[in-house]
Amino acid sequence: MDRSQYLTVSELTKYLKMKFDRDPYLHTVYLTGELSNFRLRQKHQYFSLKDDNAVIDAVMFEHQFRKIKFTPEQGMKVCVVGHVSLYEKSGRYQIYIDRMEPDGLGSLYLAFEQLKKKLSAEGLFNLPKKQIPMFPKRIAVVTSIDGAVIRDINTTVRRRYPIAQVVLYPTVVQGDKAAADIARQINRANDRGDFDTLIIGRGGGSMEDLWPFNEEVVARAIANSKIPVISSVGHETDTTIADLVADQRAATPTAAAELATPVKLNDVLLTIKDDQNRLLNTMRTKINFDRQQLNKQLQSYIFQQPTRLYENYAQKVDQLTQQLGQTAQNKMQEMRMNVERLSGRLMAASPLHRVQQQEQLVKQLQKQLVTASLANQNEKKQQVTSLIKQLDSLSPLKIMSRGYTYVTSDEKVVNHASQLTVGQNVHLHFDDGEVQAEIKKVKEH
């Protein structure tokens, strides 16, 4: 096995990080999402951004976080600008955020995408598109009676094809009741049945202003329309559900009227002129973009944003600081437990404790000794009393008190008559004294 072909994990991670850092599309990323795992920290902020299908780790360093004018909260939808890179320690890619703003339209975008997905799954966007008549007699317009839309359409139709009749179906184009009113007017125009083309639209505005044209009831009214529908909602950059369902989409009300009327030579020349201007603008934009890309290549991002040199280190320092604090806390807890355990052992082995134990033992033994001494003394007293009684019962004096005597000669007790001779002096012992006598006669049995 040739080990030279194998990379270490660190080498692979460094290589991937280099790829991330050198990718020009990741240098400035505009991202919207919902804050997840967010907990306000003292310095750098670590959290996630998520939507329904994905999540990305996010870091916002202290000096950038101080610049924002609101307080982020868990679950808040935000728009952020930053760059994407790889954190080598964990091997996970994350976005380093430079700017953050609250996204007040998050729920509307979500509803837009959900309805768009639903209608797309039903095939509502892929229905066969109806052909717009080239020479219409009657054109129905569903829009506000007070807006500039109807004026622009009337002006364009009179200029291009004045024999066509324009009929306004006035409707509310903004607010909670607008969607139902727009759908009702579309259905009214269809019920009349003598229109060649139907134009719906309104001028520009915010996403909330244009929202009635993103409602399902309007989308289904357009899809069910027997009259070819041209949608002209908002500006050219705005896209609504109505635009996706309609048979034709126009960037402006004037463009919608042009689509609904025949083409003239002047219109062709104007179109060429517009295309020429659009081409020039596109070329200028392309040149400016290429110039910007050249400047990015000539100026390394390291020199433009030197803080990126230590971003990973700053994050690593935060993690190590947190680990150090936890380790120190665990060590202190362990040492505290050891001190308590050793204190217990020291107290158990303390001489004072042992002296107290021995003192208690001495007192206990003293009590036992006194008790045993008294018991032994009483026992001896009883034995002495018993022996005295026995001795007293065996005492010769006791016998002699009953009239008996004993004979001694030369301070020796004479037990037998054969020990005496006639004329021998002896002593007779009584209980109350003694007498001296002489042997006159010896008679043995």
What percentage of the chain reaches a pLDDT higher than 70? Answer: 91
pLDDT value of position 430:
80
pLDDT value of position 165:
94
Residue among 106, 105, 185 nearest 144 (CA): 185
Per-residue b/e over 245-276, b at no fewer than 16 CB within 10 Å? Answer: bbbbbbebbbbbbbbbbeeeeeeeeeeeeeee
The residue among 347 and 18 whose pLDDT is bigger is 18
Cβ 250 vs Cβ 230: under 8 Å: yes
Instruction: Estimate the crossing angle of helix 106-122 against helix 216-223, to 10 degrees.
Output: 30
How does residue 170 score in pLDDT terms, banded at 50, 70 and 90?
very high
Given a cut of 70, whether residue 277 has pLDDT beyond it is yes
What percentage of the chain reaches a pLDDT higher than 90? Answer: 30
pTM of the complete model: 0.41
pLDDT value of position 105:
52
pLDDT value of position 293:
79
Per-residue b/e over 81-112, b at no fewer than 16 CB within 10 Å? Answer: ebbbbbbbeeeeebbbbbebebbebbebeeeb
How does residue 45 score in pLDDT terms, banded at 50, 70 and 90?
very high
Cβ 216 vs Cβ 234: under 8 Å: no
Pairing of strands 165-170, 138-143: parallel
Pairing of strands 77-87, 425-430: unpaired
Tell me the β-bridge partners of 336.
none
pLDDT value of position 23:
84
Q: Residues 343-363: pLDDT tens digits?
A: 878 777 767 767 777 788 888
Sheet with 138-143, strands from edge to edge, namely 165-170, 138-143, 197-202, 229-233, 248-249
pLDDT value of position 301:
61
Give me the chain's average pLDDT, please. 85
Q: Residues 176-231: pLDDT tens digits?
A: 889 999 999 999 999 988 999 999 988 887 777 888 999 999 999 999 999 999 99
Can you read off the two tokens belonging to residue 259? 């689509």
Can you read off the two tokens belonging to residue 379? 């026992």
pLDDT value of position 305:
66
pLDDT value of position 218:
94
The residue among 303 and 419 whose pLDDT is bigger is 419
Q: Residues 112-162: pLDDT tens digits?
A: 877 888 999 999 999 999 999 988 999 999 999 988 899 999 999 998 888
How many CB atoms are closer than 10 A to CB 382?
A: 10
Given a cut of 90, whether residue 391 has pLDDT beyond it is no
Three-state SS for 165?
Answer: strand
